[in-house]
Amino acid sequence: MLTIYNDQHVLHQGKVEMFRGELVPCFEVPARVDHVKSELERRGLGSLQAPDAFDESLLAKVHAPRYLDFIAHAWDEWVALDPANATRDALPSYWPTRGMRSDVLPKSFPARMGLFSFDAGTPLMAGSWAAARHGAACAWTAARRVIGGERSAFALTRPPGHHAGADFFGGYCFLNNAAVAAQALRDAGVERVAVLDVDYHHGNGTQAIFYERDDVHFASLHGDPLTDYPYYLGHADERGAGRGEGFNHNLPLPRGTDFTAWRAALKTALARIAEVKAGALVVSLGVDTFEGDPISGFKLRSDDYLRMGEDLARAGLPTVFVFEGGYAVAEVGVNAVNVIEGFGQ
Ligand code: Q9C
Ligand code: ZN
């Protein structure tokens, strides 16, 4: 499968994230993508291309201008606060909650950091913006190749994207790559695009971006938000709003779910995608559903990812894969590339 590779992903390399009152080493590391790349090459599936020159104005179709402005300059503002900040990653520690103002833009950088985020697990550093922007370009380029007639394309990038909303970062994500790909397919004339999110975590950012739209159907299989991150979104009764009603499909599953049960949910999601007559598919491909994943709770095994790819191929749609989570670093390559191989040429 044609793969669009973000070689600038290494510019984003967090040191620590806040986890249960402690700063712990980041789970979202460059080696994740390195393993996928070398596994593609090892199996001879690796026709790797660089992203096309990216017209950044496309980002404003899925992200808020004031958020893009914030995130593009965040590192410089962080260092301007205190030159010693140059040696440490930026993390938020204040957030507006119910009853507080999110319409007024604070002058304080730490206050804006919290306004535009929803967790303290997503460190930002000097290269984060370049890596994220180049990743969005990868997703856009993969969509362009599919528009151009390729049956499928794979955007291999990090940081991931599906937790990033129109105006917030979090869950290791800054720009919503899958949303960029879906929007590019829409702009090319595909009347309805389906985004199918198979990452272990609910794609709250993607859901929020398209919640009131009927031209992008969002479906997600994920750990139940009652027990799992991102906790505050991803329940089965979230079905879309306004014109978008009926075009949001959440399938939360309990911790311990194995491939048999997971696959049954996939079948349900794909049946609905056929029903809404989607003309193209964007797959948010996280492989943190793996039994060995250090931060997740499903029980998928490496061979299951081949079957997943086969099932996705049977949907018969032009498909853009966008890489998301997966933290069992040594197995991430095999698992992700199994989906790509199972999907076929
Ligand atoms: N229980 C993605 O997979 N922290 N993001 C969880 C461990 C956030 C995952 C802490 C996990 C975000 C793209
Ligand atoms: Zn995930």
Q: What is the pLDDT of residues 31-44, one digit of tens each?
A: 999 999 999 999 99
The pLDDT tens digits for 267-314 are 999 999 999 999 999 999 999 999 999 999 999 999 999 999 999 999
What CATH number did the domain enclosing 204 receive? 3.40.800.20
Residue 105 counted as domain residue:
no
3-state DSSP percent of the chain in helix, strand and coil, to 5: 40, 15, 45
Q: Closest residue (by CA) to atom 1 of ligand 1? A: 295
Distance in Å, CA 150 to ligand 1 centroid: 32
Instruction: Give the closest residue (by CA) to ligand 1 atom 5.
Output: 171
If one counts the domains in the chain, the total is 1
pLDDT (tens digit per residue) in 87-112: 999 999 999 999 999 999 999 999 99
Q: Any idea what DSSP says for residue 53?
A: P
Mean pLDDT of the chain: 98
Query: Structural domain of residue 297, as residue ranges?
Result: 2-65+126-343
pLDDT band of 152, cuts 50, 70, 90: very high
Answer for the pair 94, 111: CB distance below 8 angstroms, yes or no: yes
CA separation for the pair 217, 199 (Å, rounded) = 17
Element spanning 338, H or E: helix 329-343
Say what the pLDDT of residue 47 is.
Answer: 85
**Which tokens in the block code for residue 293?**
């994943």
* Mean local confidence (pLDDT), 130-149: 98
Closest CA to 340 of 136, 34, 41: 41
Task: Give dist(CA 295, CA 22) in Å, integer.
Answer: 15
User: Does the N-terminal peptide bond of residue 110 adopt cis geometry, omega within 30 degrees of 0?
Assistant: no
Give residue for tokens 């004339």.
Answer: 189
Q: Which residues pair with 192 in a beta bridge?
A: none
* 179 vs 293: CA distance, rounded Å: 25
Ligand 1: nearest atom to the Cα of 200: 3
User: Cα(142) to centroid of ligand 1, in Å?
Assistant: 25
For residue 296, tell me if it sits in a domain: yes
**Within a domain: residue 39?**
yes
List beta partners, residue 90.
Answer: 124
Is 59 in contact with 68 (CB distance < 8 Å)? Answer: yes
Q: Residue 314 domain-assigned?
A: yes
Q: How confident is the model at residue 114 (pLDDT cuts 50, 70, 90)?
A: very high
Question: Peptide bond preceding 30: is omega within 30 degrees of 0, i.e. cis?
Answer: no
Q: Exposed, middle or buried by CB within 10 Å (0-12, 13-18, 19+), for 169? A: buried
Residue 104 lies in a domain: no
In a domain, 87, yes or no: no
Say yes or no to pLDDT of 46 above 80. no
Please check the confidence at residue 329 and state whether its pLDDT lies above 90: yes
* % of the chain surpassing 90 pLDDT: 99
> For residue 106, is it within any domain?
no
pLDDT of 172 reads 98
Q: Write the residue with the smallest CA distance to atom 8 of ligand 1.
A: 171
Catalytic positions, written as ranges: 163
Pocket of ligand 1 (CB under 6 A): 19, 121, 160, 163, 171-173, 199, 201, 229, 286, 288, 295, 324-325
Task: Quick: pLDDT tens for 12-32.
Answer: 999 999 999 999 999 999 999
Q: Is residue 173 part of a domain?
A: yes
